[in-house]
Amino acid sequence: MSTVRLSTARVVAKLTYYLLRLIGRNASNLPGWIALLICPSYLELIAKPPLCVAVTGTNGKTTVTNMIADVLIDSGYSVATNRIGSNIASGIASTLTTSVSWSGKPNKDACVLEVDERATRLILPFVKPGYLVVTGLFRDSLKRNAHPDYIFDVIDTYTPPTTTLILNADELCSARLGETQGNQRVYFGIEAMESDVDSAVDLVTDYSFCPNCMTKLEYAHLRYHHIGRAGCPACGFSSPVPDYVIMYVGSGDEAIEVTHQGVESSYPLISNATFNIYNELAAIAALSEMGLSQDAIAASLGKLGTLESRLKSTTVGSVSVIQAMSKGQSCVSATRTLDFVRTQPGRKVVVLVMDDWYDRKKSVEYVGWIYDTDFEFLADDSVVQVVACGPRCYDYELRLLLAGIEKERILRCELEMEAPAQLQIDDVDSVFVLYDTSTIDVAMDMKQALISRLEARK
Amino acid sequence: MRIEIMYPEVCCLYGDKANMMYLRQCLPNAQFIETSLTDEPTFVSSDVDLVYFGSMSEKNQELVIDLLVPYKDRLRDLIQAEQTAFLATGNALEILGQYIKREDGTKKEALGVVDSYAVRQTPNRFNSLVLGRFETMTILGYTSRFSHSYVKDSSRCMVDVEIGVGLNPDTTCEGIRQGKLFATYLLGPLLIANPDFTKYLLTQLGVQSPVLAFEEEIYRAYIVKLAEYRKPGIELE
């Protein structure tokens, strides 16, 4: 019976896939949704390519998935990946549908699957990937993900014991995955960076105490939030020793030297943002474990070029208007963007367009996360004005006041499109428009209106 | 005035730290004591005016209970004496109860200083806007949790819910009030979202005619949000 269901599901899913592609759709979700409806065991029963790698984590999973897939493709592998599609069970089922023939035999060498961290429980036990890369676990949306300990438990419980884990040694939550089941674990990490600090600078620093004896951990290096190399002065507990390690990253470096088993290898640095260096290192560790040579990985990474920036900048006269992605409901993502903004030169106006678009239409967004976000970074002389936009602007105003930003430097615009006409442009070098994934359209409209105003002034 | 913040390393999820961030602005002359996991709580051996517990992970609930069990008699005495105020937000409410029933049916004995118990239902997550009455005030906020709580004595109810859910789906009772103890499932910036309640809490701490930090702005945000919560057809989750 299960064979009949599987065959039917596969054929219907493939038909759906080709029909959707014919009309120009991505077909990244519906074929898998139908397949799972017909055959609930589809993910378990469908044949998998010989090489199967999954990537999960709070941030960076799309970047790492794409890097691994691109290097494999450049190295001659045929690859099925969900880079443009859904990362929950139906999306994975759709992707796996494209990795088999009509008769059900694998027709790809590899699958590279981005997996939503909460959805791992519905995917990993059935897909049984050979490798699981975990970029790191941080606080995210409380509605869906609760807290990192919960996500840790989900991934830890549902990862098959046969899966090799590729883990970030510098992130103490995910670094402990696979301990109970005894999974093979491979760690990556960065020994030191020019930008390292000695003590916590962010409001949220989870995992600050020893999991064995509760003593406050001491960090040899701290980068952001709880990312760094920690040790317990009381019981000797420490971050794992990385198998793939970058000994030092300087601010102007264009390459990274990765040491593995005593051998140092050079790779092009494709983005100098710290979180992207970790992403690249995760991909290098995973690809190396899959058996690709250093030369092949380095050559392929070199062809990728610089990662597409989440910044889009336009300069009119002497003023740059910069759109910067700042994921709402996610204090870590937002804090990293605010940290970036504060380090940029010149006199700045910062426009916050981070209200959740879906909540604003039907509900009232819970904005507790803004109190875990370091708006204190904007209490800097270089930030001449902060513009709080959208229905939650009154909440943002309070948060900014509590962050130490003077009342005179805060502008409230409940209607976002009033902001471009009202915000300060005299004696300003740049205007940063920080937006959430759901407010990208309004942020683009605001940017355009602001550009028009600047052009009219010329 | 002395305010003790319990275990800020772990009792700090969901923006709960906003409450003490704001209270520091309202009470610039107060002493704020952050009690670490390895410290003996200050309330054990000396007087404090307010003890605050914020939200934590379920694993850390059990850790915090274990740390506080040696002091539960002292906690009970302080609550009954009604001299020290206690504020618990989010699932900190559950550590004060009789027990927490885990997903596998086993029980974690809690501090037993209030007459309630909690039942976890992970991975089911319960999210809801909440609006209700506390004395003559309207309280608003948000709850997000894996569990529900049950109380035997409904006179201990802190908020009578008009919109959203209470301690469990079958009650309009939200939170527990026992003398100067205020324990609520509402999480995050409770004191910033509810200026009337914050003033009330300050009077409980002995502040005469309290004036809030950023009072104009905080009331403006409150009034806007009250109207939004009362919009017909609003989605609660």
Q: What's the pTM value of the predicted model, to 2 decimals?
A: 0.94
The region of weakest confidence among A126-130, A291-295, A337-341, A384-388 is A337-341
B167-218: pLDDT as tens digits: 999 999 999 999 999 999 999 999 999 999 999 999 999 999 999 999 999 9
A340-375: pLDDT as tens digits: 899 899 999 999 999 988 888 899 999 999 999 999
Kindly tell me if the per-residue pLDDT of A1 is higher than 80: no
DSSP string, A170-236: TBTTGGGTTTTTT--EEEEEES-BTT-BSS--SS-----B-TTT-PBPEEEEEEETTEEEEE-TTT-
Q: How confident is the model at residue A307 (pLDDT cuts 50, 70, 90)?
A: low
User: What Cα–Cα distance (Å) separates residue A115 from each residue in A29, A86, A349?
Assistant: 13, 9, 37
User: What pLDDT does residue A173 have?
Assistant: 95
Q: How confident is the model at residue A311 (pLDDT cuts 50, 70, 90)?
A: confident
B127: left (phi over 0), alpha (psi -120 to 50) or beta: beta
A100-152: pLDDT as tens digits: 999 999 999 999 999 999 999 999 999 999 999 999 999 998 988 999 999 99
Which domains, from first to last, does chain A contain?
2-185+251-304 (3.40.1190.10), 311-457 (3.90.190.20)
A56-73: pLDDT as tens digits: 999 999 999 999 999 999
Cβ-defined contact of A143 to B14 (cutoff 8 Å): no
Q: Report the length, in residues, of chain A.
A: 458
Alpha helices in chain B, H assignment, sequence order: 17-26, 42-45, 58-68, 72-81, 92-95, 190-193, 195-204, 215-229
B→A contacts (Cβ < 8 Å), by residue, are 9-10, 12-18, 21-22, 25, 36-38, 57-60, 63, 122-123, 125, 127, 129, 142, 144, 146, 187-189, 192, 214, 217-218, 220-221, 224-225, 228-229, 234-237
- Give bridge partners of residue A413 from the DSSP assignment: A389
Neighbour tally for A181: CB within 10 Å: 14
Phi, psi of A411 (to 5 degrees): -120, 130
Q: Helix, strand or coil for residue B84?
A: coil
B21 interaction partners in chain A (CB closer than 8 Å): 371, 402
Cβ-defined contact of A371 to B188 (cutoff 8 Å): yes
User: What pLDDT does residue A308 have?
Assistant: 58
A191-216: pLDDT as tens digits: 989 888 877 789 998 998 998 888 98
A150 interaction partners in chain B (CB closer than 8 Å): 57-58, 122-123, 146
Phi, psi of A298 (to 5 degrees): -60, -45
Q: How confident is the model at residue B222 (pLDDT cuts 50, 70, 90)?
A: very high
Q: In CATH, what class is B2-101+108-118+175-229?
A: alpha beta
